[in-house]
Amino acid sequence: MSEQHLRDPDQPRRKGSVLVAGAGGVIGRHAADEYARQGWQVRGISRRPVQGAGWDHLSVDLSDPAASASGLAEAEDTTHLVFGAYAERPTSRELSEANVGLLRNTLDGLYSAGAPLRHVTLYMGGKAYGAHPGYFNTPAKERDPRLVQPNFYYDQEDLLRQTAAERGFDLTILRPEGVVGYAVGNPMNLLMVIAVYASICRELGQPLRFPGTIAAFDALYQVTDAGLLARATVWAGSDPQAAGEVFNITNGDQFRWRQLWPAFARHLGMDYAEPQPVPLADAMPQLKNVWERLVARHSLVPTPYEDLVGWEFGDFLLRSGFDNVSSTIKARQAGFTDCLDSEDRFLELFRELEADRIIPPVVLSSQSSERYVP
């Protein structure tokens, strides 16, 4: 916690100007919308142009130090930074170099602009606990020790804490899991993996089958609603109890896919059948023509198929055959008590996707029946 915060504990509660790095992603887009909804001045940075709900877009190449310094001069009044930018790389070393660079260039660009930065929110995923190589201790708690394996999240946190101590701002780190929500052209999105996969299966007259492994079908899993995470982000940047801390943020419940997929089938007007492992990254790109047919027939939002869904991302999550559970007790004790029923929220999000013409509408008929009851 910074000396500035200790001198004036009410200062972070004042509204200010928010900069959201990665505003084109599911997390960043919802965070920017939520801050704007609550009356903050908001600017969002993304690689592609994004139309925000009450916030302005900046085109800045955060991978370039000089471009960052030049582009962020316009954000000289920034008091809060929400950092959700991410660059994929093939090795852990390259991943760290790229993503630490994005964060460093953003912080340095704001510093060069003379921004009165008061708080930075940084996001981490399950890789912080070791979800990427396989099994990890559950329920995962924020106090769990780091892994010996190099991890770009650790490097980002070290940079952020060092910079915060030197420059006198506060920070909060949020750790969601399996974020579900919609953002245009953001393929790393579990919601869209399920929704598009199901829509294509329905169009082909096939029942809804879980395409992952049996182990993943039966394991405990959790998700984080993007709207809930956005509300946690505003809380983290405004409440003194969150300063300097790390919090797991999920919907607050756990489920097994075995319990949810029959409910998905009922909602989507489909028959349900036993799981059948299908490598989505191999099978689904070959069905691009089926999706394009649905887009044309139902006048759906014309998003390029390659930008619509990350099938490799879906394969990873739906083939993770181990319990993935994080404790959210620390966040509740600190004051963030928001929670959701994940099954109900998935169905609500499907309805929203249908209403916004992102996926085809559900047409229930006498041909749709619950022929399989697990």
pLDDT tens per residue across span 75-123: 999 999 999 999 989 999 999 999 999 999 999 999 999 999 999 999 9
Q: How confident is the model at residue 364 (pLDDT cuts 50, 70, 90)?
A: low
**Given this model, what pLDDT does residue 157 score?**
98
Q: Residue 365 pLDDT > 50, yes or no?
A: no
285: how many CB neighbours lie within 10 A of its CB? 12
Confidence of residue 13 (pLDDT cuts 50, 70, 90): low
pLDDT at 281: 97
- Of 4-13, 102-111, 237-246, minimum mean pLDDT range: 4-13
> What whole-number distance in Å separates Cα of residue 265 and Cα of residue 197?
12
Q: Tens digit of pLDDT for each residue in 183-212?
A: 876 777 899 999 999 999 999 999 999 999
Query: In whole angstroms, what is the distance from residue 342 CA to residue 254 CA?
Result: 8
CATH architecture classification, 182-224+253-324+340-355 = 3-Layer(aba) Sandwich (3.40)
The answer to whether residue 335 scores a pLDDT higher than 70 is yes
Amino acid symbol at 269: G
Find the angle CA(294)-CA(289)-CA(25) to the nearest 5 degrees: 70
Per-residue pLDDT at 12 exceeds 90: no
Total count of residues recorded for the chain: 374
Residues 354, 356, 360, 361, CA torsion sign: positive
Tokens representing residue 53 in the block: 């709900």
Read off the pLDDT of each residue in 340-364 and give the average, rounded to a whole number: 94
Q: 222-247 burial, b if ≥16 CB within 10 A, otherwise e?
A: bbbbbbbbbbbbbbbbbbbebbebbb
Taking only the tens place, the pLDDT of each residue in 19-78 is 999 999 999 999 999 999 999 999 999 877 787 779 999 999 999 999 999 999 999 999
> What integer is the mean pLDDT of 238-265?
98
**pTM score:** 0.92
3-class secondary structure per residue, the chain: CCHHHHHCCCHHHCCCEEEEECCCCHHHHHHHHHHHHCCCEEEEECCCCCCCCCCEEECCCCCCHHHHHHHHHHHCCCCEEEECCCCCCCCHHHHHHHHHHHHHHHHHHHHHCCCCCCEEEEECCHHHCCCCCCCCCCCECCCCCCCCCCCHHHHHHHHHHHHHHHHCCEEEEEECCCEECCCCCCCCCHHHHHHHHHHHHHHCCCCECCCCCHHHHHCEECCEEHHHHHHHHHHHCCCHHHCCCEEECCCCCCEEHHHHHHHHHHHCCCCECCCCCCCHHHHHHHHHHHHHHHHHHHCCCCCCHHHHCCHHHHHHHHCCCCCCCECCHHHHHHCCCCCCCHHHHHHHHHHHHHHCCCCCCCCCCCCCCCCCCC
How many percent of the chain have pLDDT more than 70? 93
pLDDT at 9 over 60: no
Q: For residue range 157-167, what is the model confidence (pLDDT) as tens digits?
A: 999 999 999 99
Give me the CATH code for the 3-179+225-248 domain, please. 3.40.50.720
Domains 3-179+225-248 and 182-224+253-324+340-355 in one fold: yes
Domain boundaries, the chain: 3-179+225-248, 182-224+253-324+340-355
Give the pLDDT band (50/70/90) at residue 8: very low
